[in-house]
Amino acid sequence: MDTPILEMRGANVFYGASQILFGVNLAVQRGQTMALLGRNGAGKSTTFKAIAGIAPPRGGQVLLSGHPVSGQAPYLVARAGIGYVPEDRQVFPEHTVDDNLIVAAKRGPRGDRHWTTERIYEVFPILAGMRNRMAGRLSGGEQQMLTIARTLMGNPDILLLDEPSEGLAPIVVRAIGDLIRQLRDMGVTILIAEQNMHFCLGIATHATVIDKGQVVYSATIDELRGNDAIMQRYLAV
Ligand SMILES: Nc1ncnc2c1ncn2[C@@H]1O[C@H](COP(=O)(O)OP(=O)(O)O)[C@@H](O)[C@H]1O
Ligand SMILES: [Mg+2]
C-alpha cells in the first residue's frame, strides 16, 4: 500500500472531561472516496474537527501523506492540504459568488493551482450563472455547492465533506451527489461524513463505520453493501 493521503492513528478526542473518540484509526488513499458512516452522535463531526485541528486529539496522530499535522493550528492544517467543509456551510452572504471563490484562491501544498474560478465554473455550471449574485441569496443547496467550490479553490490534497446532504430536498441531494461523483471521477480524494448510507452507496469507493466514538468496520463500499449485519446494527437503514 502507498502512504495514505490522510491517516488517523489511535485518536482520542475529548470535549472538556468527556471522551468522544476512542482510538480512532482511519486511512484514505489517493483517489479514494471514503464514506465515514454512523448514526447521529457517533462522532463523525468530531473526527473531522480532530483532523482539521479544531479539536486536536489528546493521544494519537493525524498524518497527511505521512507527515504529522496533529497539534498544528487549523490554518496550518488547511495549508498542509486538508480542505474541510464543515456541516454549517458558511458563505460570505454579503459578497458575490465570484468573490466568495476568489478570497479562497490559494496554491496547493506543492504549489499547484489546478482549481481556478474558470475550472470551478466548468464543473459547477449552476454557480457560473450566479457569479454576480450575493451568496446570502443562494438556496441551501447552492450554498452547499459554493462551500465545496470555495474549498476546492485552496487546491487541497483531500476534501472533507461533513454531511453535505443534510437538510436538503431530495432533488437537491441528488444534484449534490452527482457533483461529488463527478469530483471523484476527476480523481479528487474525498472523505465524506454521512448518516445517510444510501446517499453514499453510489458515491463512495470505501466505507468506515463509527459508533460511540469507535471505528467498528472498514471495507470497500461493495463489501459493506453485502453486510446486512453491520448495516442493521450501526446504520439507520
Ligand atoms: N462541543 C461539544 N461539547 C460536548 N460534547 C459534544 C460537543 N459536540 C459534540 N458533542 C458530543 O460528542 C458526540 C459526537 O458528536 P458528533 O461528532 O457531532 O457526532 P456526529 O457528527 O456523528 O453526529 C455526541 O455525543 C455529542 O453530543
Ligand atoms: Mg455531525
Whether residue 26 lies inside any domain: the answer is yes
What local confidence, expressed as pLDDT, does residue 71 receive?
87
Whether residue 1 lies inside any domain: the answer is no
Give me ligand 1 centre to Cα 85, in Å: 17
**Atom 24 of ligand 1, residue of closest alpha carbon:** 41
Instruction: State the average pLDDT over residues 113-127.
Output: 95
Q: What is the pLDDT of residues 27-63, one digit of tens each?
A: 999 999 999 999 999 999 999 999 999 999 998 999 9
Binning pLDDT at 50, 70 and 90, where does residue 237 land? low
Instruction: Give the domain range for residue 167.
Output: 6-90+160-234
Q: Is 42 in the pocket of ligand 1 (CB under 6 A)?
A: yes
Give me ligand 1 centre to Cα 41, in Å: 5
Q: Is 17 in the pocket of ligand 1 (CB under 6 A)?
A: no
Give me ligand 2 centre to Cα 222, in Å: 24
Q: What is the pLDDT of residues 192-214, one digit of tens each?
A: 999 999 999 999 999 999 999 99
Whether residue 144 lies inside any domain: the answer is no
Whether residue 100 lies inside any domain: the answer is no
Ligand 1 atom having least distance to the Cα of 163: 21
Q: Is 52 in the pocket of ligand 1 (CB under 6 A)?
A: no
Instruction: State the average pLDDT over residues 9-14.
Output: 97
Whether residue 12 lies inside any domain: the answer is yes
Q: What is the pLDDT of residues 67-103, one digit of tens each?
A: 999 889 999 999 999 999 999 989 999 999 999 999 9
Whether residue 212 lies inside any domain: the answer is yes
Instruction: Answer whether residue 106 shows pLDDT above 70.
Output: yes
Number of domains in the chain: 1
Instruction: Tell me the pLDDT of the chain averaged across its residues.
Output: 95
Report the percent of the chain where pLDDT is more than 90.
92
Secondary structure of the chain as H, E, C letters = CCCCCEEEEEEEEEECCEEEEEEEEEEECCCCEEEEECCCCCCHHHHHHHHHCCCCCCEEEEEECCEECCCCCHHHHHHCCEEEECCCCCCCCCCEHHHHHHCCCCCCCCCCCCCCHHHHHHHCHHHHCCCCCEHHHCCHHHHHHHHHHHHHCCCCCEEEEECCCCCCCHHHHHHHHHHHHHHHHCCCCEEEEECCHHHHHCCCCEEEEEECCEEEEEEEHHHHHCCHHHHHHHCCC
Ligand 1 atom having least distance to the Cα of 42: 22
Instruction: State the average pLDDT over residues 129-136.
Output: 97
Q: Is 36 in the pocket of ligand 1 (CB under 6 A)?
A: no
Task: Write the CATH number for 22.
Answer: 3.40.50.300
Closest ligand to C-alpha of residue 88 is 2
Whether residue 216 lies inside any domain: the answer is yes
Whether residue 111 lies inside any domain: the answer is no
